[in-house]
Structures are given as structure tokens and as C-alpha cells.
Homo-oligomer: A and B are copies of this chain.
């Protein structure tokens, strides 16, 4: 006999509702009441699962981190070995991996949007600082790993300082995502891909 309400599922629904509110109206307008309304829940019910606002926000950001890192891990997994690939294929693979961090479809656009709002909020909100730090460290690790793989496969120019290149590519991806989210009429998803391709191409040439 299935439980009438699955608390895990409920929390997921609430977090999804929070994300929708953040994407639509910004983190600023994501109050307990608006999130509850979006989730079609009574505030009392919502507070049964999240006692305080801080708890909800931290849980939401943690969920987002888990989702994205799972997807990144899966993408790296699926990428598999790159020994059998041509130089061009390797670069294209790297583009696809980095593209997981760019707003190339609705889901990723929502993720980058939420990430941006959370990240800026974390600057002055102590309750979110450590999580934002984890995100920053995580993306650097991911980007660094992509570069390492390319280097190990001999797909990169020699003489590159990988720490600098990691910082460079991380900033590039973050900046592209931010600009594409904030100014979609100026920077499209295709533009993001073009830029990343140009960048990786330059690292290889």
C-alpha cells in the first residue's frame, strides 16, 4: 500500500515550485507564501516540510547542486574514453560537456538562471555562502577535468598553464551563461556554442 503522500516527492515538488518562481519573478519574490501558492500548498503544509525559510532555501540550492552534478557526472560517464576519437571529435565532445553549464535549452536556462540569482544572493546571505562556494569549486573542478582530459589526449597546445586556463575557461562559461540569461536578445545559445568552440579551437591550434 503506497503512502498517500511521499515526503520526498513533496519536497521535490516544493523545490520545483520555488525554481519556477525564481525563474519567473526572481529570488527576491520567492517568499514562503508565493512558493506555497505556486506549489498549490497551504503555507502550513509547506512549513511542515520546511520549518524555516532558510531551511527551504538551503535545501533548494542543495537539490540544484545535486541535480546538476549528477548530470555532469553522467555526461562525463557517457563521454567515455576519448582515445579512439579524432582531434576534432574530442573538441566537439568537450563542447558538449561544457554546454551542460550553458543555457542551451529550457531546463539548462532555468538552471543557470536560478544559479545566477542564488550566487549573487549568497554574497550577502550567510546562509548560502558555503553552498555557493561549493558550486564555484565544483565547476572549476569540472572545467579543469575537461582540460586535463584534452591535455592527456594530446589535444592541447603545449606550454599552457592549466591552472590559468581553468580559471579562464570557467570565467568564460560563467560569463556566457550570465550574459545569455540576462540578455537573450544579445547572446543566443548558438552564440554560446560558437564562442566555446572558438575558445577550445584556439587552445588546440
A contacts, CB < 8 Å to B: 24-26, 28-29, 113, 116-117, 119-125, 132-133, 136-137, 140, 161, 164-165, 167-168, 170-176, 178-179, 181-183, 185-187, 191, 194-195, 198-199, 202-203
Task: Verify A168–B123 contact, CB threshold 8 A.
Answer: no
User: How far is A81 from B66 in the complex, measured between Cα atoms in Å?
Assistant: 52
Task: Verify A167–B195 contact, CB threshold 8 A.
Answer: yes
| Given contact pairs A28-B28, A120-B120, A179 touches B170 in the complex (Cβ within 8 A) | yes
Can you name 24 A-B pairs with beta carbons within 8 Å?
Answer: A24-B124, A25-B124, A26-B121, A26-B124, A113-B123, A119-B178, A119-B182, A123-B181, A123-B182, A132-B182, A133-B183, A140-B186, A164-B194, A164-B198, A167-B176, A168-B195, A168-B199, A171-B178, A171-B179, A174-B175, A174-B178, A174-B179, A202-B202, A202-B203
A120 partner, pick from B117, B125, B170, B199, beta carbons under 8 A: B117
Nearest B residue to A168, CB-CB: B195
Task: Verify A120–B182 contact, CB threshold 8 A.
Answer: yes
A28 partner, pick from B121, B182, B191, beta carbons under 8 A: B121
